[in-house]
Amino acid sequence: MEVNIVNNTEDFYRLKEAWEYLEAQDYDATYYSTFEYIKTWWEVYKNDKDKKLYIICVTGNKEVLGIAPLYIETLYKKVFSYNELRFLGQGDFAGLLINRQKASENKTIKLILSEILKNTKDYERVLLTNIKHTSALASYALKSCEINKYFTYLVECPQVIINNYKDFEEYRKVYKNVNAARYKNKLKNDIGYNLKATIDNGDSIIQKISDIHISEQQHLRYKKKIHGRSSLFEDPKRLSFISRLYKDNDKVITFTIETPEGEIIIYNTCYLYKRVLHSWNTGYDKRYENSSLGRIIIHDMVNYLFENRIADILDLGPGRYPWKFEWTSDFLLEYKLDMWNENTKKGRILKKLYDLKH
């Protein structure tokens, strides 16, 4: 097997067929590592001077057997800068793609990590985050004497496993959320709301949810005095990425709770891939902030999944927030691989500075 580095956009796009084959058969793959998702992200950021591709491809018999979707970003601090190796894209999960039918996963991972470790000139830090504990990469890293100490816990990702229950009533016996039921009944009595599930509504849904999210974050920032709050939709490039991704995309589904007049008072927007519904962003109308809308919409989304069976898992996204564990006791762990390049003087100095700060 051979290792090649793809570092230009044209060669990246030529990987489309091989990439999509790998993502389809690799059980570790999530929507965040698909060619569609990462290409759309790169289309927005490819002209940034602080970013360059560093996709590692493992090939054998003229076939692509493994892909590490990476890039190098230059980070600028007050008095210095350094390069960091990261996963491509901005998502809740990340990882490698491997053809397990034709290649040994351990040998493929070993070749990729060896390539990363032997490069002593292009980056000072390797920071690969959001790696599922169930992945082949995590398994390899945890048993590797060389990698283990750099591979550490990051966060929990709670998940509702729909297939663990016969129906919604059986699920509710285990997770009987009294507060959700009480607020749901009150909202029904007050406004007579409706739950809507919208698939592939492109620019229309983006405009609606971005307005809600920006307004909510501004309310939290200025009225509630919660510092550090901002909306991802206020970032022009993030907005461009999401808008492009949502266009004509049947893997996008947005749940909304609406008044009888069609006004959205809360949304939860998701990606549906391989029967996993990834909830990645939510926002509410600040006028209803005391109505526990978050609980109501999760309650109704879970019910919707039982009724329509479009997914086997509802992924609530990274974060050990108590409200997430009101709905489930199942979760994935995410890890990160964080290594400084100590083969260079700059790398050693940066590591010492990092260790002093942390």
pLDDT on residue 120 = 77
d(CA 83, CA 36): 26
**CB atoms < 10 A from the CB of 17, how many?**
10
Which DSSP string corresponds to 241-303?
Answer: HHHHHHTT-TTEEEEEEE-TT--EEEEEEEEEETTEEEEEEEEE-GGGTTS-HHHHHHHHHHH
Residue 196, classed as helix, strand or coil, is strand
Give the residues across from 256 on adjacent strands.
196, 267
Look up residue 8 and give its two tokens: 């230009």
Segment holding 41, helix H or strand E: helix 35-45
Mean pLDDT per block of 10 residues along the chain (358 residues) reads 95 97 95 98 97 97 95 90 95 95 91 91 95 97 96 98 96 87 90 90 86 92 77 95 95 96 96 97 94 95 97 97 95 97 87 85
pLDDT on residue 101 = 87
> DSSP H helical segments within 128-175, as ranges?
136-143, 168-174
pLDDT on residue 1 = 87
d(CA 341, CA 118): 10
pLDDT on residue 109 = 97
d(CA 297, CA 316): 12
Sheet holding 2-6, edge to edge: 2-6, 55-60, 63-68, 97-98
Sheet holding 125-132, edge to edge: 51-53, 70-76, 81-87, 125-132, 331-340, 151-161, 313-315, 276-284, 264-273, 252-258, 194-199
pLDDT on residue 228 = 75
d(CA 182, CA 27): 39
pLDDT on residue 124 = 94
**CB atoms < 10 A from the CB of 61, how many?**
7
pLDDT on residue 145 = 95
Residue listed under structure tokens 């974060």: 319
pLDDT on residue 356 = 86
Cβ contact 214:164 at 8 Å:
no
d(CA 25, CA 62): 19
Cβ contact 131:94 at 8 Å:
yes
Residue listed under structure tokens 């927030």: 321
